[in-house]
Amino acid sequence: MSDEQDMPMGKKLYDNVWLLLAIGIVLPTLIFTVWGLIEIVNLPYLPMVK
């Protein structure tokens, strides 16, 4: 138990494969896909078209 408590944050993080998987999926989805979709949806129509 004391081993568990002394464990550094880095080891805890790298041992948690499911957390790493979640970060690896969620982060690119937000930064590339979601952000890109928001940009496309909010693009205005060419103003000089009458």
1 binds another protein (CB under 8 A): no
CB of 35 to another protein, least distance (A): 14
How many of the chain's residues bind another protein (CB under 8 A)?
13
Residues numbered 6 to 45 that lie near another protein (CB under 8 A) are 7-8, 10-11, 17, 43-45
For residues 30, 11, 15, 19, the Cα torsion angle rounded to the nearest 10 degrees is -20
CA distance 25 to 37: 17
- Contact predicate 9/15, CB 8 Å: no
Binding site for another protein (CB under 8 A): 3, 7-8, 10-11, 17, 43-49
